[in-house]
Amino acid sequence: MTERHDSIILHFVVRVFMVPFIVMFGAYVFIHGELSPGGGFQAGAIVASAFVLARLTLGTNHSSPRIQAHYLIWLASFGVGIYVLAGLIPMFFGANFLDYNSLPTEWFNDIAEHHRTARAMGLFIVEVGVFIAVFSVLVTMYDHLTFQHREEQDD
């Protein structure tokens, strides 16, 4: 539980410029993970750094209070679950674990009218899982390491 910082300049700069830019840059790094350097790990760390910055300056209670530590660990296991599912689904189609060639992604190519191989689709699904897991684990660790029990706060 980080206290809210007093400086209004810091609040303004962080809320208006820093956090939106960092989140947007994280989204860019994530989406361009297949085209240029980037990917789930890096983008997760960047977006988590935006949340940690908001918590450091605005205080935990004022920065996205709905995203709390005990929900985030569910989100992290959800991310790992996406990865494991992307590995398990090909096994139902007779392929090996994590063999994306057998992922049923033809319907997506029909909708998007843009050809992507099944392995590229599987790669993207895996990156989504890694992104969610890394992001939520980093924010979880910050929230838990700065958590204070209620008795300690009253003293």
Partner 1 sequence: MKWLTLAFLISFLGLFIYVSADLPDRGDPHAPGNTHLAAEFIELTGEEIEIPNIVSAILADFRAHDTLGETIVIFTAGLAVLLVLQVGYKRND
Q: How far is CA 125 from the centre of its chain?
A: 13
Which residue from 56, 73, 102, 109 is in contact with partner 1, where contact means CB under 8 A? 73
Cα distances (angstroms) measured from residue 85 to each of 69, 76, 82, 103: 24, 14, 5, 11
37 binds partner 1 per the rule CB under 8 A: yes
Q: Which of 138, 152, 5 shows the shortest CA–CA distance to 67?
A: 138
1 binds partner 1 per the rule CB under 8 A: no
Cα distances (angstroms) measured from residue 109 to each of 15, 39, 102, 120, 125: 39, 22, 14, 12, 15
Q: Which of 47, 41, 59 shows the shortest CA–CA distance to 139?
A: 47
Which residue from 87, 89, 103, 105 is in contact with partner 1, where contact means CB under 8 A? 87
- What mask of x and - would describe binding to partner 1 in positions 39 to 58, judged by CB under 8 A? xxx-----------------
Shorter beta-carbon distance to partner 1: residue 48 or 58:
48
Residues that bind partner 1 (CB under 8 A): 33-41, 69-70, 73, 76-77, 79-80, 83-84, 87, 97-98, 100-101, 116-117, 119-120, 122-123, 126-127, 129-130, 133-134, 136-138, 140-141, 144-145, 147, 149-151
